[in-house]
């Protein structure tokens, strides 16, 4: 099935690009999440041309903020996506695909928690775990 610019999406023998390059890792992550370039762009909050550029060997690179979003959306490890070090696979329960709404909520939660004194953060984690397990 072709994507918006005529390139096949997710075919078994598709060239995923050189994953030693950032552009190849972005493409690999997108295909791993079974997303078109347009869907990735929409979920990250950029225009299609930005997502297309990210996958070109001499194209522009995503910002760090957008790399975080891509890694979260695609369910890959940020360090691998950004640097190529380590494994693309996340450990255990962290391997989830997030929506744009999840990213906004999680960012607000992280900013709030960072405002809590370090010695009180464990209380917040315990509370969150207790209500998550209800």
DSSP conformational letter for 89: B
pTM of the model: 0.61
pLDDT at 103: 74
Report domain extents, the chain.
22-98
pLDDT at site 62:
97
Per-residue model confidence (pLDDT) at position 112: 86
Confidence at residue 46, expressed as pLDDT on a 0 to 100 scale:
97
**pLDDT tens figures, 82-99:** 999 888 887 665 555 666
CA 34 vs. chain centroid, Å, equals: 12
The stretches in the chain having pLDDT less than 70 are: 1-17, 91-100, 134
CATH number of 22-98: 2.120.10.30, 3.40.50.300, 1.20.1260.10, 1.10.260.40? 1.10.260.40
Structure confidence at residue 134 (pLDDT): 59
CA distance 53 to 111: 30
- The interaxial angle of helices 64-74 and 100-114, nearest 10 deg, is 120
pLDDT at 74 (0 to 100): 92
């Amino acid at each position: 099935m072709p994507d918006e610019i005529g390139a096949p999406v997710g075919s078994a023998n598709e060239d995923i690009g050189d994953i030693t390059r950032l552009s190849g890792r972005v493409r690999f992550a997108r295909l791993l999440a079974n997303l078109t370039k347009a869907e990735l762009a929409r979920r990250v909050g950029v225009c299609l041309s930005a997502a297309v550029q990210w996958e070109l060997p001499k194209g522009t690179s995503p910002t760090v903020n957008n790399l975080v979003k891509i890694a979260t959306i695609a369910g890959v490890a940020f360090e691998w996506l950004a640097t190529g070090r380590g494994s693309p696979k996340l450990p255990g329960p962290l391997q989830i695909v997030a929506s744009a709404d999840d990213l906004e909520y999680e960012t607000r939660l992280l900013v709030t928690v960072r405002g809590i004194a370090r010695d009180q953060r464990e209380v917040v984690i315990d509370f969150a775990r207790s209500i998550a397990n209800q």
